[in-house]
Structure 1
Amino acid sequence: MLPKVLDMLSKVKLTDVVVSRAELPAGKAEHMIWDTDVSGFGLRLRGETKSYIIAYRPAGQGRAANMKRVKIGSPETIKTAADARKIAFSMLGKVAAGGDPAKDRAEEKRRAKSRVADLLDRYEEDLTRRNYVAKDMVMSLLRRRLKKHAERDIKELKGADYAAVIEGLERKGLPGAAEEFRSRCRAFLAFCMTKAKVIDANPLYGFRRQRATRADRLAKQEHGRALSDVELASVWLAASPATVFGRFVRFLILTGCRRGEGAGVTRKMVDRSDRARPVIDFPAAFVKQGRGHKVTITEELDDLLALCPVQGTLDLFFPSNRTGGPMSGWNKMTAALVKESGVQFTFHDLRRTFRTGLSRLGVDTETAELALGHAREHLIEIYDRREGSEKVHEAFRLWSAHVTTTVHDEQAKRAEKVGIFG
C-alpha cells in the first residue's frame, strides 16, 4: 500500500496507481506531482480535477526565461500514465529542438476561431446585439464578396486580396459597389482586430479611394439629378402597386426616404396616436444620422400602405418575395423598372426629386431638410416646436398632392394621345 503521505510528495514516478490516489493537500488550491523519469512531466491537482502537463523553458533562452506549462491531457483522455509520459517525452524533445508547444497551442486556438466564414457569423451576432438595422444587407454583401476566401484563415489574407475584390468591381464598371465593399469590409476587419482579436492590423486602413479626376467629378455631377414631373409620373405609373417592388418605389417617391430605410420599415413604426397627424416613426438606430425621423402618413401614403399585405414574421411593409426578410437584388429590379418607364434614374435620384420638389413648392430650406431626415441640432430644436412640426407635416402633404396631380395629368395626356391615335 502507498503511504498516506503520497499527496505531499513533490516528485515520484507517475503510475496509474499514483495518479488515481493522488489528492490535493488540505488548504491548497493547486499542487504539482513531478515525474522522476521524465524531467518536466507532471500531474497537476486543481480542485477536483487532475491533468498531465509539461513544464519547460524555450530552448536557447536560459534559466532567466519564464517557465511555461502546457496541458497535454487528463487521466480521462489519456489511457495510462505511461502513455502520458510518452507524449510528454515527445513534446519535450521538440522543445529541445527549438519548438514551443505553448506558442503552437495558442496558434491552434487562434486558427480555430479565425476562419473567415466563422468570423462573419460572429460579426453578424455583434451587429444583431447592436441592433444594426442594415445588418442583413451588410452580411449578404460581405459573404458574397468574400465567398472564395470563406474557408481561409483571415490572418493569411493580405491587403492585395481585398484590393483584388475592389478593383474587380471597378473593372466591371461598378464603382459604387466597389466603394461599398471597401467601407463594409473595413468595418468588418476592424471588428476582427479590436473585438475578435484575430488580426493585428486592419489591411484596409491604408487603402484609400483614388483622388477623383476632373472627369470623375463632372460625371458624378451629371449622375445625380432630380427627375422632371413627366419623368416622375412615368416612374410612378411603371411601378405597379400589384408588386412589392412597385409599392416600394412609390413609397420612396412619396417620402424621400433612403433605400435602406424604406426596405426596413415595419408596421410597429406606424404611430397613429395623433389621428390628425399619423406618422412613421423611424427609431434613431434606423436612420443614417443616428437620430429619429418622422414621416407624415398622408392620405396618398396611407392608401399605399393599405395595399401591403402582412407577409413573413418581420412585419415589413416591403419584404423580399423570396425570403420574407429585407428586400435585396436592387440592380436587377431597378433595371427592369428603368426599361419599363423609359426613365434612367437611381433610388437617390428619387430622394433628390423629393427635396427639389419641396423647394419648388415653396417649402423653406429648414423644413425641407427636416422632411428629408437631415438631423442637425438646430433643426431638431425647430421640429420640437409645434409650429415647426406642423410645417413638416404640411410639406409632406404638399408633396403628396403634387405627385398625385402630376400623375393624373400624365395619365390624362396618355389617354388623350390614345384617343387621338386610337
Structure 2
Amino acid sequence: MAKQIDKLSDPQIRRWIKAGTPVAKADGNGLTFTLSAAGTAAWVLRYRFGGKPRELTLGQYPDVSLKEARKRAGEARAQVQAGADVARERQREKTELAAAKSFRQLSDDYMAKVFPTLAASTVKQRRQHIEGVIGPRLGSMTAREVTTADVVRFIEALHRTKTPAVIELVFTALSEIFKHGVARHAVTANPCAGVSVAAIIGKAEPRRQRLKLTEAELRAVLPALPTIGTDNALAVKLLLLTCTRIGELTKAEWAHVDFGRAEWFVPDANSKTGRGFTVPLVPAALACFAALKPLACGSRFVLPARQTRRTRNHGGAEVPFEQRTLNAMLHKLCDALGEKVRRFTPHDLRSTARSHLAALGVNVIVAERCLNHSLGGLVGVYDQHDYMTERRAALETWASFVLACEAGEPWRQDNVIPIRAAA
C-alpha cells in the first residue's frame, strides 16, 4: 500500500493553532507540523542519515505556508538522497555566520545577554571598560581573528596608560566576552586562556592599605580643615560624621536631605551596592548640611561643581562636585601639616570612622551598618533590622569624639557607654 502524503490542510492547521494544544502532525514523507506549548507553529522534516534519525526545521507557520513547506521538504529530501546531511549543513551555516561576527558585535551580545545577571556596580564598571577601552582597540576585528598575541599586545599597550589594577579588570572583561563567545559558537577558543597579566607587565605592587587616622592625627587635621576652603572642609567633616563614601556624598541632592527627620537618603543609583539606604544625621552632621546650603547657590546638588569648565563640558547642565578635587585638597593639607599626619584619601575617612567606632565600644553589627556594609552569611539573610536607633546613638558618640578633637578638648574613653545591638 502506498504511503499517504499531503495529509494536512490549512483549515486543520488553523483549528489546531486556535485550540492551543501542543501537537505534532505528519503530512507524509517526513514533513511534520508542530505546535509547541508556547504556541510556536513550525515545520520539521524528519529523516534518517547514516542509520540515525535527524530533524531539520524548515520555518514557522504561517510565514512558511503548507505549500511552501512541502516544496522545501522535497528539496531537502533530494539533498539527503544525494548524500547530504541537511540538518548538519544548516548547523554549520549558522556556526559560520556566528564566526563572521565582529568583536564589537560579540561584546554587544555579551552585554545584552549577561549584564542583566550582574550587579549594577559591576555592569557600570564593565561597560566602561568594554566600550571605552576594549572596543576602540579590538572592536573592528572579526571575533575569531583575535589571537593570544593580540591580547598580549593589547595588555602591553594598556600598561603605558593604566594601572595594574585597572588592567586586571579590563582583562577580566575581555576574557568573559570570549567565554560567552565560546558558549555561543562565535569563537572556537578563548584567546585569554593561559594569559596572565602579571606575566606580561610584571607583578603589581601590593594594594595600599587603608589608613586609620589616629586621635593625634585627627587633632591635627580637623582644626586645619578651613585652610582647604569652607565647602571642602564641610565635605570632609560629613564623610567622617556619616561614614559614607565620597561618591555617595558628591552625588547627594538637597531633595535627599530631610532636616525635619534628621535623615539623608542615598538612592539606589548613588549607592555603591546598588541598594538605597538611609543615614541618620546627628546634630553635627545636620549643621554641616545647613552650612553647605547657602554655598550651593540654588543648585540641586549639595556639593555642586564650582568650575565653569565642568558645567560647560556637560552642556551647561548642573553637575556635582568632582571627587578628585577633594583628594587633591587633602594632599595639599597633608603636605602643609608635614609629619603631624600621614597622607590620606577620602576613603581613608571611612576606615578611620570604622576603627574608632570599634574603639568606642560600638557593637560590630551596628558599626558595619553605619558604613552600609553587607552583614553577609546567615546574619545578612535573616537579620532585616535597620538598626536606625543604634546607628544614630553610635554616630552621636562618634561625633562627640570628632568635635572634641576639632576643638582641642580632652576626651575620656572611660566615660563612653558601649553601644550594643538590640537583642
Whether TM-score is above 0.5 comes out as yes
Structure 2 residue runs without a partner (length 5+):
17-21, 409-423
Q: 1:142 aligns with which of 123, 127, 130?
A: 130
Which position in structure 1 is the counterpart of 2:360?
A: 364
**Aligned-pair CA distance for 1:246:** 10
Between Structure 1 and Structure 2, how many residues are aligned? 370
Q: Does 1:175 align with 2:167?
A: no
In the TM superposition, 1:190-209 aligns within 5 A as none
Question: What's the counterpart of residue 108 of structure 2?
Answer: 117
Is 2:245–2:350's contact at 8 Å kept on the other side of the alignment? no
- Return the offset for 1:23: 4.3
CA distance, structure 1, for counterparts of residue 62 and residue 268 of structure 2: 56
Name the CA distance, whole Å, in 2 between partners of 1:328 and 1:57: 70
Contact preservation (8 Å) 1:284, 1:292: no
Structure 1 counterpart of 2:54, one-letter code: M
Match in the other structure for 1:301: 289
Q: Which amino acid aligns with 1:67?
A: R
How far, CA to CA, are the matches of 2:8 and 2:343 in structure 1?
72
Q: Secondary structure at the match of 1:172?
A: coil
Structure-to-structure mapping, 1:33-182, within 5 angstroms: 33-34=27-28, 42=31, 44=33, 53-57=44-48, 62-63=50-51, 65-71=52-58, 76=63, 81=68, 84=72, 88=76, 92=80, 96=84, 100-104=88-92, 107=95, 115-127=106-118, 132-133=120-121, 135-147=123-135, 148-150=137-139, 165-172=154-161, 174-182=163-171
Separation in 1, partners of 2:179, 2:400: 44
* 1:32 and 2:26 aligned: yes
Question: Contact 2:33 / 2:44 at 8 angstroms: preserved in 1?
Answer: yes
Q: Classify the secondary structure of the residue corresponding to 1:33.
A: strand
Shift of residue 366 of structure 1?
3.9
- Cα offset, 1:44, TM superposition: 3.6
Please list the CA deviations of residues 207-258 of structure 1 after superposition, one character each: whole Å capped at 9, or x if unmatched: 66749999934xx5589685966777888755684xxx99877754664433
Q: Which residue of the other structure, out of 248, 253, 256, is the alignment partner of 1:261?
A: 248
Kept in 1: contact 2:40–2:60 (CA 8 A):
no
| 1:72–1:88 contact (8 Å) kept in structure 2 | no
Quote the Cα distance in structure 2 between the aligned partners of 1:144 and 1:69. 42
TM-score when normalising by structure 1: 0.56
| Offset, 1:179 | 3.3
Q: Which of the residues 392, 395, 415 maps onto 1:392?
A: 395
Residue 234 of structure 1 contacts residue 342 of structure 1 at CA under 8 Å; is this kept in 2?
A: no
Q: Given that residues 34 and 43 in structure 2 are in contact (C-alpha distance below 8 angstroms), is that contact kept between their aligned partners in structure 1? A: no
Over residues 143-183 of structure 1, what are the superposed CA-to-partner deviations in whole Å (9 max), with x where a residue is unaligned? 21221344667677667666655554334351232234345
Q: 1:350 maps to which residue?
A: 346
Deviation at 1:305, TM superposition (A): 5.7
CA distance in 1, matches of 2:352, 2:77: 79
Structure 1's 190 and 115: CA in aligned 2 closer, same or farther, altered over 3 A?
A: closer
Report deviation, 1:364: 2.0
Structure 1 unmatched ranges of 5 or more: 1-7, 13-17, 406-422
Query: Which one is further off, 183-192 or 257-266?
Result: 183-192
Q: What CA distance in whole angstroms lies between the structure 1 residues aligned with 2:42 and 2:204?
A: 69
Query: In 2, Cα distance between the equivalents of 1:385 and 1:305?
Result: 25
Cα 1:114–1:303, aligned 2, differ >3 Å: closer, same or farther? Answer: same
Q: Tell me the SS of whatever aligns to 1:96.
A: coil
Distance 1:274 1:226 in 2: 31
Q: Considering only aligned residues, what root-mean-square deviation do their CA atoms show, in Å?
A: 6.3
Helix, strand or coil: the match of 1:216?
A: coil
